[in-house]
Amino acid sequence: MTKTFIHGGTVVSPTGSQLLDVLVDGETIVAVLQPGATALGADLAASADVAINATGKYVIPGGVDGHTHMQLPFGGTEASDTFETGTRAAAWGGTTTIVDFAVQKPGERVQDTLGLWHEKAAGNCAIDYGFHQIIGEVNDESLKGMSELVAEGVTSFKLFMAYPGVFYSDDGQILRAMQSAGDLGALLMMHAENGIAIDVLVEQALARGETSPYYHGVSRPWQMEEEATHRAIMLAQLTNAPLYVVHVSAKQAMEQIAAARGNGQNVFGETCPQYLYLSLEEHLGAPGFEGAKWVCSTPLRSKVEGHQDELWRYIRTGDVTSVSTDHCPFCMKDQKELGLGDFSKIPNGIGGVEHRMDLMFQGVKNGLISLERWVEVCCTTPARMFGMYPRKGVISPGADADIVIYDPTGHTSIGFGKTHHMNMDHSAWEGFEIDGHVDKVLSRGRVIIDDGSYLGSAGHGRFITRELSQNLI
């Protein structure tokens, strides 16, 4: 097995940053040592097969993106990234583990759909991966299937209060699923928007001739997100189910989550970089059909109303548990263009799995979050939230050697044809400049990114059998 010695760098964890050396044997971290000119350090550097000089750089756990959608069928098309292209792009950006979503549709067995997603991913992933299970039809058989999946290491389940006729669950179905999740100790994830009311608003907007991408956001107002979030919290409280609200974009919805957490409830909120940087006015409201690039649900919110600033604040206070991407990419040509003349037909999704670590580090450079909080929300807490800690999300003996060498003095220009490796014909992050750079990425001890070169391969990534959430109160 290859021995790798990483020396001279600053190891960052949620609890602090310290100059430390890291010894990797094969796929595993075996020692984290005080640095420098000790005889032991010198001996390790000399005896290692590979020595990596990380002087002046951060040594952080590989990123854990707990919310991606590779090859997701949606809106008459399919997300443009395969498990091969999407995980390769993730690696370029310092993410070494994703948790994707297997999708059950009405009439299907959850066990069968999980098997289908295993077939899509097996032998194709450049980094490690796990699955959540979307429950598209809550019935006795699906609820029984939840128990079987937990035993197989799929310990989180997603429901939708949005998309009537596609994924939607009514309150009675949500109640039953939460009762099962509570009994199993499994995590219930929720897309919290009032889909029934939103459909009426969409119909009314189109009848008025309001067809451009801007009206995607206008027809999904923050009240629909806050109301659904509150309703989900109440149902979770009744059933004693842990609740994880995905892609929170509205400050009012996060306020509901913060209040529930303050009352001691196991409620967690996720946000995404698009809700921290992008806006209804500037992006969805771009001229012509350009705003389609940024159509996603929940939608981008108004910058004037202060949603972005408040979400950064909630990251600082700890009420935002983790930052994921909701990576669900679609090309403009032949995909987003399905919604020309009717915003409701634009496939919902933004590509970003490659850029999350950089975008959140820019928050460090801008003084919005601490260095330690960066690692916490992007690496450690997602690993704990989804039952992969301490195997993932930490630089510690016994952990998988998923390690990123990050240069805080480097620079990254994001954009199509620059740092863009996702299978898309545009970049939602075109023109963003990052005061930092991913230099090296190790996945289970193997260097897969090295100073601008990709050394990984499809099939290196393994399926992660997850435990129950380790982040509950």
Q: What is the mean pLDDT of each successive set of 10 residues along the chain, which is 473 residues long?
A: 95 97 97 72 76 97 98 94 98 98 95 97 98 97 97 98 95 98 97 98 98 98 98 98 98 98 98 98 98 98 98 98 98 97 97 98 98 98 98 98 98 92 97 98 98 97 98 92
pTM exceeds 0.85 for this model: yes
Contacts 24+ apart (CB under 8 A), 165-169: 166/136, 167/134, 167/136, 167/191, 168/195, 168/196, 169/135, 169/138
Asked whether the beta carbons of 383 and 321 are under 8 A apart, the reply is: no
Write down the pLDDT at residue 8.
95
pLDDT at 38: 52
Q: What pLDDT score does 418 carry?
A: 87
Average pLDDT value over all residues in the chain: 96
pLDDT of residue 37: 47
Query: Residue 47's pLDDT is what?
Result: 80
What residue has token string 């679609």?
A: 330
CA distance 41 to 36: 6
